[in-house]
A and B are shown apart, each in its own frame.
Chain A
Amino acid sequence: MSPNLLDVENVNKIFARGGIISRSVNHAVNNVSFSLAADKPEVFTIIGESGSGKTTLAGMILNSAAPTSGRILFRGKDLHDVRSRRDRLEFMSHVQAVFQNPFDAFNPLKRVDRYLFSAAQTFTECRTTDKVEERVDDSLRKVGLSLAEIQGRYPHEMSGGQLQRVAIARALVPNPSLIVADEPVSMIDASLRMTVINLFKKLRDELGVSIIYITHDLATAYYISDRLIIMQEGRVVEGGDARTVLAAPQHPYSIKLREAVLSVEGAWRDEPITEAMPAVAS
């Protein structure tokens, strides 16, 4: 039997912290397990409250942080053993990331096209300037941009949505088999959001790319996810087929989440404030 694309096995991440707000250790990711099959590309969605450990988990899957315990296998290989520069580059050409806040993901002093060029030079066979530019332009066009439009620009010279699309385009450059997208569409308009979401769908259906989609947006999650898990305080509280879970959530937290979704019919406009106010602490 060929190995899975990804195995997350009993993964924990514990941060030691002595702050004012939390005095004890912080169990950011608590015993999380799931697998993505190699022969069945899918959109696997992670939903959860702010601070529930989604980004921390993504960081471990991307091998940029190590689990405190448990292990993560990519195509059967423990990420713990992906250490040498060569292995890391090889891993990164298969697994790409789109981060949460594009303003943080780009160095303000570095032109954004540099990121794309260096991705093309590092992860692809393109060597000549022409080939590199072609590859980069290709990726940019998939997200509604073009090289001509962004060439020579610095991050602060672009809008939030443009920058996020550049980040997605960069992730597409190496033709990865897994994309970990941490809230990739929260900064872009509703129409473009569907363009990107449909692009994920297309990557899955036509190119066999699997996608780990981290989001707060339950509606887009419903639209594209095959399976999903819901996290609260580091734990998976509910998981399974996306439509089933979102249509009829079972865990009290999932139910609360489902109920907090705002609708365009403007339901809570006249609701008293205190009732909907969540507890003060994080």
Chain B
Amino acid sequence: MITGHRTMATSHEIKALQTAPLLEVDCLKAYYKMQLFGVDREVRAVDDVSLKIDRNEIYGLAGESSSGKSSLIKTIAGAIRPPLRVVEGSVRFSFKDGERDIYKLSPQELSAIRWSHLSYIMQGSMSVLNPVRRIKHAFVDFALPHVNVKGADFTNLVERHLKRVHLDPAVLQAYPHELSGGMRQRVTIALATVCGPEFIIADEPTTALDVIVQKGVLLMLREIQQELKSSILFVTHDMAVHANLTDRLGIMYAGRLVEEGRTRDLFKRPLHPYTAHLISSLPRIGDEAPKKGLEGSPPSLADPPPGCRFHPRCPLSIDICRREAPPLVEILPGHRAACHVAQADPTRVEAVL
């Protein structure tokens, strides 16, 4: 009886682990706490964000500049340095070999999962490549500690992987400045994927590239992702990249996630007025219509507007928006938005388009 019960519990646990989302972010708050001219200042860069990312899923993140995307990503990756501080909430990964609660890990445990389970391509990430050292040293520094091969076997592994990302293994002997931007970016992606991580975080990895090279890098990233069956959290301002690459898309505004859903649904039918504005401001070749940026200033995260943070700039704002912050709720199946008006009548948001 007892044994049977145990077995059931265990298989139940295993099943739970397999069906659990790979990443679960719960009510996360992360603030920059600083002193400026003797006055305390708190920038609420990530303010109560909850989201889930499934295994084998590419989740895109877009949103206003300085809305907290990079900060969110840093807190998810556990790359938290003062003055950034996690104030509340949790970040949990369900890796194949067990669950990890990022903020309960010791620094050693955290660095043990870096690159092997979780890798992070930073904004302006060319900087992971040391300009005065050959590329091969970067692989030795980052990847060697996480694989159980050494010497010639390690070199073989790296070379095989480089070919997989369509790079000539000769790049290992090169210095970063000898490579074009596209090649350097492929090298950073190769670095981030060489240990076969389950979760890849990429912050603006293709912004510096021309459209042809960008397309190549994106296709390569997707190819690697499909091969490894890993998940990617991908941040970019390029909405066309989201449309082509991501399965689901989250939109941030002023430290909050304001909308989330399947990428196609967001483009077809945005439910938050900010998203609707973002999509309608995209210029296109052949389109002669004047496009406008948002009026008004981006909100200060040190002193965000009360109620809905978008209300001072929102064309649909009503009385309640000034007083009450709208919760992020499911309005259509699999499609969440934080907007009082959309919650009452989703069709009203079309007026912004």
Contacts and interface: CB of A to CB of B under 8 A. Distances in A.
Tell whether A pairs with B. Answer: yes
Contact of A194 (B168, B207, B283): B283
A28 to B, nearest CB: 12
B243 A266 contact: yes
Nearest to B170: A20
Interface in B268-300: 277-279, 281-287, 291-294, 297-298, 300
A219 interface: yes
A189 B179 contact: no
Contacts of B284: 219, 222, 263
B208 A160 contact: no
Interface residues of B, number: 70
A264 B297 contact: no
Contacts of A280: 166-168
A133 B207 CA distance: 33
B212 A21 contact: no
Contacts of A195: 292-294
A16 interface: no
Contacts of A89: none
A192 B286 contact: no
Contacts, number: 198
Interface in A235-274: 246-247, 256-258, 260-269, 271, 273
Contacts of A192: 64-65, 293-294, 298
Nearest to B180: A282
Interface string A98-123: 00110110000000000000000000
A278 B213 contact: yes
A103 B298 CA distance: 21
Interface in A22-38: 22
A264 B213 contact: no
Contacts of B37: 152
A280 B166 CA distance: 6
Contacts of B180: 50-51, 282
A149 interface: yes
Interface in B159-210: 166-168, 170-171, 173-175, 178-183, 204, 207-210
Nearest to B245: A269
26 contacts: A19-B174, A20-B173, A48-B210, A49-B212, A50-B180, A101-B208, A152-B37, A186-B207, A187-B207, A189-B63, A190-B278, A191-B281, A198-B291, A198-B292, A198-B293, A216-B210, A218-B285, A257-B211, A262-B215, A262-B241, A263-B240, A264-B240, A266-B264, A267-B244, A268-B244, A281-B168
